[in-house]
């Protein structure tokens, strides 16, 4: 009788554990099934014969429970499973581009035709200038291609910073640098929902397990003016430029997001520390609207608002850029830039997207950057 009672109690515990496991599996599956990778219409589906019967979005398209499938995959082809049970190495720790597809796990699918994508069907990831700026002349159509440009977020630097910063304790030595800004199990398809910030693709590095859905209107209520879109209207979706708050509520709060890292001293990476609350392009009050009797601001920023606050991605690309430095966008405020060198004309091509041009004798022909830079208070 005692043995029978023990067995019943043991079985009841097993059943309880099973249902708890089932409950938490379903609870945690929800966000993944809502994500871009888990979606059953366009989620992950690796083009491998052995996985042809697996549903789109199935975990096995990225994770392999054992060491390989059929022995024809990239690493690991033998021995034990790789960290996170991925079918290939997460990050090679190469220190500079040009990157190869094998340098970063994400490049196996996010490469369009720049390399052989393992995703079926193939898909594009245009840069910010095209997706949200409406500049359809941009030829960048994949994340892999974006990172292989002149100016880019160095993946090794991102990996090192995240791996050594105690605030990002979730980041491990074998983690992928892309995961510093994206949670692959939560990231959604914002490129198809430009005006809906709940379809966020980003997670703040210090809050990795939640999507970042705060908007520029949360950061600076009634002070964020979305720039013109190249194809009409204002960013991010071509909505009305006069709807100051409405467009701000569609734009993610990139000021807070980017400062999660860039508020630190990054001199070792050749980058200045940024305090957007004290920056003239940020929350600092602008000191004047004219220079020598001439207006200095172009539309849509010439309306009488005491201080406009910009988003980092109004001027910068998040992954990579054609520019010689600083991730400068090709399209800014419905105008194009020519930022290929550190010259007066190059800086003018960027700054006059929003500022009225002045003659070449303006401050003896100095480059804009000699006086006006983040933190200069000019």
Give the per-residue pLDDT at 29: 45
Give the per-residue pLDDT at 295: 72
92 in Cβ contact with 103 (< 8 Å): yes
C-alpha to C-alpha distance for 302 and 228, rounded to whole angstroms = 13
pLDDT at 159 over 90: yes
Considering only residues 116 and 360, tell me which one the structure prediction assigns the higher pLDDT.
116
Give the per-residue pLDDT at 303: 76
Mean pLDDT of 369-376: 66
Range with lowest mean pLDDT among 40-49, 106-115, 269-278, 353-362? 353-362
pLDDT at 293 over 90: no
The count of other CB atoms within 10 Å of the CB of residue 7 is 10
Burial class (CB in 10 A: 0-12, 13-18, 19+), 101: buried
Percentage of residues of the chain with pLDDT beyond 70: 80
Residue 187: partners with Cβ closer than 8 Å, 6 or more residues away: 35, 36, 37, 200, 201, 202, 203, 211
C-alpha to C-alpha distance for 183 and 61, rounded to whole angstroms = 17
List pLDDT tens digits, range 167-195. Answer: 899 999 999 999 999 999 999 999 999 99
Give the per-residue pLDDT at 82: 75
Range with lowest mean pLDDT among 30-39, 70-79, 363-372? 70-79
Give the per-residue pLDDT at 70: 59
373 in Cβ contact with 367 (< 8 Å): no
pLDDT at 27 over 60: no
Range with lowest mean pLDDT among 55-69, 217-231, 257-271? 55-69
C-alpha to C-alpha distance for 189 and 37, rounded to whole angstroms = 9
Residues in the chain: 378
Give the per-residue pLDDT at 366: 73
Label residue 375 by pLDDT band (50, 70, 90).
low
Label residue 23 by pLDDT band (50, 70, 90).
very low
Label residue 21 by pLDDT band (50, 70, 90).
very low
Mean pLDDT of the chain: 87
C-alpha to C-alpha distance for 250 and 239, rounded to whole angstroms = 10
């Amino acid at each position: 009788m005692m043995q029978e009672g023990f067995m019943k109690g043991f079985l009841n515990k097993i059943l309880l554990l099973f249902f708890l496991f089932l409950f938490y599996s379903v609870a945690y599956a929800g966000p993944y099934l809502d994500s871009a990778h888990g979606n059953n219409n366009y989620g992950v589906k690796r083009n491998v014969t052995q996985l042809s019967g697996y549903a789109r979005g199935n975990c096995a398209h990225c994770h392999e429970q054992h060491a390989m499938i059929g022995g024809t995959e990239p690493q690991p082809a033998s021995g034990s499973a790789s960290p996170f049970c991925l079918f290939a190495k997460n990050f090679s720790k190469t220190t500079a581009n040009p990157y190869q597809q094998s340098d970063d796990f994400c490049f196996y699918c996010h490469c369009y035709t720049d390399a052989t994508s393992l995703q079926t069907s193939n898909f594009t990831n245009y840069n910010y200038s095209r997706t949200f700026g409406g500049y359809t002349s941009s030829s960048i159509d994949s994340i892999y291609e974006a990172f292989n440009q002149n100016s880019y977020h160095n993946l090794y630097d991102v990996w090192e910073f995240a791996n050594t910063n105690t605030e990002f304790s979730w980041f491990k030595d074998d983690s992928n640098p892309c995961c510093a800004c994206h949670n692959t199990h939560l990231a959604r398809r914002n490129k198809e929902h430009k005006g809906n910030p709940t379809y966020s693709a980003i997670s703040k590095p210090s809050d990795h397990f939640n999507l970042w859905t705060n908007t520029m209107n949360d950061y600076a209520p009634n002070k964020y003016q979305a720039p013109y879109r190249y194809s009409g209207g204002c960013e991010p979706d071509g909505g009305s430029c006069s709807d100051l708050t409405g467009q701000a509520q569609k734009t993610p709060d990139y000021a807070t997001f980017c400062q999660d890292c860039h508020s630190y001293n990054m001199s070792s990476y050749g980058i200045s520390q940024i305090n957007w609350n004290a920056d003239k392009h940020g929350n600092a009050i602008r000191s004047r609207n004219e220079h020598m009797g001439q207006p200095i601001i172009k539309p849509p920023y010439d309306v009488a608002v005491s201080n406009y606050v910009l988003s980092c991605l109004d001027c910068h690309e998040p992954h990579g850029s054609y520019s010689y430095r600083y991730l400068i966008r090709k399209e800014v405020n419905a105008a194009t830039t020519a930022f290929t060198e550190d010259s007066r004309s190059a800086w003018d091509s960027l700054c006059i997207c929003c500022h009225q041009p002045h003659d070449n004798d303006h401050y003896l022909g100095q480059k804009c950057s000699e006086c006006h830079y983040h933190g200069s208070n000019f």
